[in-house]
Structure 1
Amino acid sequence: MDKKFQEAILNDDVDALHTLLVQNPILLDRATKEPFPNTPLHVAAAAGKTQVAVELATLRPSFARRLNPEGFSPMHLALQHDHFQTARALVTIDPELIRVKGRERITPLHYIAEREGDAELELLADFLCACKRSIEDITSRCQTAVHIAVKSCNIKAFDVLLGWMKRVYLTEVLDWKDEDGNTVLHIAVSTNQPQVVKLLTEDRPFLFKNRPFLGCMYRDRLVKVNAKNFLGKTALDISREGHCDKEIPDMLGTAGTSLTLSQFLSGKLTLFEKCSRYFGIRDEQTGNMILVVATLIATGTYQAALSPPGGYWQDDSDPVTNSTSIVQKPHMAGNMILGGSKVYFFTVLNSLAFYTSIITIWATAIGLLPDTFIVYLSVLILGLTFFVSIIVEFPKANRFAGTLIWAFYEILLLAVLLLPILVWFSHKAIQNRMDATKRRVGSFLESEPRRR
């Protein structure tokens, strides 16, 4: 490297850098001739010269991703020499630099997850918040940042990672396996870390796709305690080999039977999967149109139930008779004026239209479970209100028939809206038993994102 150029970098002098570039415009191009160059940005990052490093990364963005002969990017060098401000500045330019893979596919996130210290913890938190998908990067040994933190017994870094994963709903990463098939729980048990085991196996409120649902009291754990590594051992099996604290087997409890991915795929579709395939609407525009129409029908029929043809009686009346016949039927304030066979005809058809719209919403939302549980709850409450209004408004003389109509439709409504929830719970129970190697964020068993 040119001596003046090197002095400008080491003095963190941006003006001198640009002066040299004006005199020699191809000065930076010389550093890219070799396959694995030690670029000026590598020199600036290793020396902690933040201003020049940012300027070089701006002038030549490709420098920030290049690896030197030792297999390190400028970000790696800044971290190795504890120049955390330089690393933060580079992340500000391009958050994806956190995912640059160096020697043994180690990223800056992997590197900082292994380091101990308050400054390192803050930088780890900054990295996670700056680039969410960096958590899915794995080393050549198929280890995530969580694996590395637990393997190096860096409890504080693990706490940061665990707290972040809970907040961004990515606790599924805890069940990913390394090259030996070990999850984070396997590593925590084999390295005798009761604190980590306790955090991983403590009961928590059941989460629908990692989202709390109405304070449901069903209990679950962050990780699958029955997961097996490639030697066929669960965390409980490892804890019984006699090299860890006696309290760890108690934390793990009794590991249930696991279901391998091949066994799961070889088996028959669950009832939930069958319903999703049959009723699921893949095209987003079609689904939106159906939901709009179904909502309009539900709104119109609900309004018709509240305001039936003829309206309501405004006062109470007893039978009025004369010497020959009754001239006025008895009625109560708030009852329908409509009577006779017409009230049955109107109520049955209106209820049928309302019920059909509810079925349509049910069929459209079933493929999106569990995110649409709140929709099922809202529709159930709406349906209960609708059919209760029928009972209240029916004429007193026809109250028994109205009760039969209400009971019939209410039983159907409860069956339609509660059945998907029960079916999904049974499907979830099977999925919780499944033990598969996962190394990507998101479940491959879920439907692909729909396109417009």
Structure 2
Amino acid sequence: MVREVIRKKLYDAATLGDATRFQQLLQEDPYLLDVVSFPDSRNLLHIATRSGQASIVEEILRINQHLAWSLDSQKSSSLHIAAAKGTVEIASKLLAIAPQTSWLRDCHGMNPVHIAAMNGHVEILEEFIRHDRLPATEKVDHRQTVLHLCVKHGQLRVLQVLVNHFRELVHLQDDYGETVLHLAVRYKQVEIVRYLVENTGVEYQCSRNSNRETALDISRQSPQDTIQSEITKILEQITTIKFSNISLNKVSIELVLMVAALIIGMTFQASINPPGGVWQDDSATHKAGTPIMASTYPEMYNEFVVANMAAFILSVLTIIWLSIPSPTPEPKQPTWIVIFTGYHLLLAIFTLSFINSIKLLNPPTKDRSLITATLTLCVGFLGLIPYFRYGPHMMSYFCNNVRAWRQSFVITSN
């Protein structure tokens, strides 16, 4: 009976934060911390942590640090409880004494970082990351990440913090092949969907789960209520313009650089070895080493020189532009339009240089006119190919931007 009374007094002192009474009881019996337990196999450190009594927690840790490793019947440590409650001060004290407890998993397979994320405690989550980043990368059941847990529990703010620290987790798939975007669509988390779409890469947004479904497929197959319709609209808008980011992937950029380097080499070679060759001797009308065509067809030769120089300069500028790292993870639309237009302008000027070379090497006859017409027709068809392919997408992108601008204008006016 005496033991039960003392246990009740300890419990009251720990839950109420009565440090003076707590110390008096421990002075009467220093071994109370080791022998006293409560329902669910919890010790005094669990009770004080659950009640948010930082002073009592500090006193218990001063006397017996090993209690920080003790688990209750749910396999939860005191750090698990602090993470669930969001008490940053207590979590800091526990981490200072037993930092490895951030790796311990409860009966549900979750460590304290997972618990803090589920409950939306941003400050304590950042404290965990500051001490050790790796527990946040641990997976739970079905190989889901901490980001999947954020989506399930609707914790947008926590998700944003974690993405800033662990962007690579966004692309990971669980046992069902689903990323956090798939899951956000299933759980109708419209704000999370919008955040993921606006702040992550298109390749990931187009990823498919084990049923070969993209996030957009899942959204379209779901009953279209107000929220689901908004999610579908968000995903359809980004899918409409996804071609722009895909065209700037690593392979495409390397191809543009290779073509630009090839054009530099060819234009340089044409400048030192012009069509028709050079004069080998001096005369009253020319000097040795000067282009023959400059004397025989001066106007056409000037056109050739201008086109050749323009192709060379644009190739150099293209290489410089693409060699500078982008300040953002994904190139923006204006950047893509500049590169797309510049790349085709470069090819057009180089083609013009080629046409002039052919014209210079052929005398001014009807045959040369036929050659010019044939080349112009072929080049015209080649130039239209990319616009036939991307034209509808570019028009859709333009219309969407105009529509968004008009809506923002109306809202601002009102």
When the two structures are superposed, what TM-score results if normalisation uses the length of structure 1? 0.47
Q: 1:133 to 1:416 in 2, by over 3 A?
A: farther
Residue number among 283, 297, 306 corresponding to 2:265 in the alignment: 297
Which protein has the bigger helix share?
2
Q: Distance in 2 between matches of 1:147 and 1:303?
A: 56
Residue 195 (structure 1) aligns with: 230
Deviations 1:422-445 (A, max 9, x none): 9998xxxxxxxxxxxxxxxxxxxx
Q: Residue 80 of structure 2 contacts residue 115 of structure 2 at CA under 8 Å; is this kept in 1?
A: yes
Closer, same or farther: CA 203–182 of 1 in aligned 2, 3 Å = closer
C-alpha distance in 2 between matches for 1:28 and 1:386: 81
Contact 1:110 1:148 in 2 (8 A): yes
Q: Which residue, 201, 205, 208 being the options, matches 1:169?
A: 201
**Residue 45 of structure 1 corresponds to which residue in structure 2?**
83
RMSD: 5.9
- State the distance in 2 between where 1:122 and 1:176 align: 26
Q: Paired residue for 2:326?
A: none
Stretch deviating more after TM superposition (204-213 or 155-164): 204-213
- Say which is worse superposed, 78-87 or 291-300, in terms of deviation: 291-300
Counterpart position of 2:172: 137
Paired letter, 1:173: Q
Aligned length: 301
Paired amino acid for 2:121: H
- Conserved? CA contact 1:113–1:149, under 8 Å: yes
Q: Could you say if the C-alpha distance between residues 212 and 423 of structure 1 is closer, same or farther in structure 2, counting changes exceeding 3 Å?
A: closer
- Give structure 1 stretches of 5+ with no counterpart: 214-275, 312-326, 359-370, 426-452
Work out which of the two has the higher radius of gyration on C-alpha atoms and give 1 or 2: 2
Establish whether residue 83 from structure 1 lines up as the match of residue 121 from structure 2.
yes
Aligned letter for 1:115?
H
Whether the 8 Å contact between 1:175 and 1:184 is mirrored in structure 2 is: no
- Identify the match of residue 185 of structure 1 among 217, 220, 230: 217
Q: Is 1:115 aligned to residue 153 of structure 2?
A: yes
| Aligned mates of 1:156, 1:113 — CA distance in 2 | 10
Per the alignment, residue 406 of structure 2 pairs with none
How far 1:375 moved relative to its partner?
8.3
**Residue aligning to 1:237:** none
The aligned counterpart of 1:317 is none
Q: 1:105 to 1:374 in 2, by over 3 A?
A: same
Work out whether 1:148 is the aligned partner of 2:183: yes
Gap regions ≥5 residues in structure 2? 1-32, 35-42, 316-335, 391-414
Alignment partners' CA distance in 2, 1:402 and 1:55: 90
Aligned to 1:380: 347
* Aligned positions of 1:394-433 closer than 5 A: 394=360, 398-400=363-365, 403=368, 407=372, 414=379
* Aligned pairs for 1:302-313 within 5 A: 302-304=270-272, 309=278
Cα distance in 2, alignment partners of residues 302 and 402 from structure 1: 24
Alpha-carbon separation, structure 2, partners of 1:66 and 1:381: 64
Asked if the contact 1:109–1:145 (Cα under 8 Å) also holds between the matched residues in 2, the reply is yes
After superposition, the Cα gap between the structure-2 partners of 1:39 and 1:209, relative to the gap in structure 1 and judged at 3 Å, is farther
The equivalent residue for 2:20 is none
Preserved contact between residue 49 and residue 86 of structure 1 (Cα < 8 Å): yes
Higher relative CO (CA 8 A, sep ≥ 6), structure 1 or 2?
1
1-side partners of 2:257 and 2:122: how far apart? 52
Cα offset, 1:398, TM superposition: 4.2
Alignment partners' CA distance in 2, 1:337 and 1:150: 67
Q: CA deviation at 1:71?
A: 1.5
Which of 93, 101, 104 is residue 66 of structure 1 equivalent to? 104
CA–CA separation in structure 2 for the residues paired with 1:61 and 1:419: 63
Write the deviation string for residues 110-134 of structure 1: whole angstroms up to 9, x where unpaired: 2222334xxx323222333332222
Q: 1:105 to 1:289 in 2, by over 3 A?
A: closer
Distance 1:209 1:45, change over 3 A: same
Residue 160 of structure 1 is matched in structure 2 by: 195
Query: Residue 216 of structure 2 contacts residue 236 of structure 2 at CA under 8 Å; is this kept in 1?
Result: no
Residue 55 of structure 1, CA deviation: 6.7
**How many Å separate the matches in 1 of 2:368 and 2:100?**
75
Distance 2:97 2:385 in 1: 57
Does the 8 A contact of 1:380 with 1:417 survive in 2?
A: no
Shift of 1:73: 1.3
Secondary structure (helix, strand or coil) at the match of 2:158 reads helix
- Cα-to-partner distance string for 1:354-407 (whole Å, 9 max, x where unaligned): 9xxx9xxxxxxxxxxxx9967852541341342366489x59x94459957984
CA separation of 1:152/1:29 partners in 2, compared to 1, >3 Å: closer, same or farther?
A: closer
Cα gap change, 1:17 to 1:295, in 2 (>3 Å): farther
Secondary structure at the aligned position of 1:176 is classed as coil
Report if aligned partners of 1:169, 1:211 keep a CA contact under 8 Å in 2: no
Q: Supply the AA of the counterpart residue of 2:102.
A: A
**Structure 1: distance between partners of 2:150 and 2:203:** 20
Say which is worse superposed, 124-133 or 59-68, in terms of deviation: 59-68
Check 1:90–1:408 CA distance in 2 against 1; reply closer, same or farther (3 A cut). farther
The alpha carbon displacement at 1:85 in A equals 1.5
Give the share of equivalent positions with the same residue, in percent: 16
